[in-house]
Amino acid sequence: MATVFILNGPNLNLLGVRDPAVYGRDTLGDIEERCLRRAAALKLEIDFRQTNHEGQLVDWIQEARESADAIILNAGAFTHTSLAVLDALSAADLPVIEVHLSNIFRRERFRHHSYVSLAAAGVICGLGAQGYELALEAVARLLAGRTGETSQ
């Protein structure tokens, strides 16, 4: 059974706690649970983690290189600033799906550029917690080799 690392960057541990009216009631724990259910249905194992430390995120991506078959990454603020994360992803040589809860392109200008995108197979943003589930579905197909990779 394939393993997927689902890695979350800085401040994502605060989800659901602050301002539920705005950000939704889902905590990161709730998202993990939804991922577990969807992963089970897709016959995938997941390892779900969060860190506020860039170096930790790099360590985990390097670990994925050895122990995982794919990465789903919501790098939070590091998305826009961390070249080290990009380099780790490039070295990992695994399918990567980039996820953002909000549509980053409707936020401040400095959130429009993503280093992660340069190493990601696909990007899903603006779909909240559901984005993680869709990312799992995408990973499942990529791993099944039934990518039907069309381009435009």
Active-site residue list: 23, 100
CB 103 to a copy of itself: min, Å? 6
CB 33 to a copy of itself: min, Å? 12
Q: Of 109, 104, 107, 149, which Cα lies nearest the Cα of 131?
A: 104
Contact yes or no for 6/35 (Cβ under 8 A): yes
CB closer to a copy of itself, 3 vs 52: 52
CB closer to a copy of itself, 38 vs 46: 38
Q: Of 44, 42, 4, 12, which Cα lies nearest the Cα of 30?
A: 12
Within 8 A by CB and 6+ apart from 85, the residues are 54, 57, 58, 61, 75, 78, 115, 116
Q: Which amino acid is at 135?
A: A
CB closer to a copy of itself, 46 vs 119: 119
Question: How far is it, in rounded angstroms, from Cα 58 to Cα 84?
Answer: 7
Question: How far is it, in rounded angstroms, from Cα 29 to Cα 48?
Answer: 9
CB 143 to a copy of itself: min, Å? 13
CB 84 to a copy of itself: min, Å? 4
CB closer to a copy of itself, 47 vs 128: 128
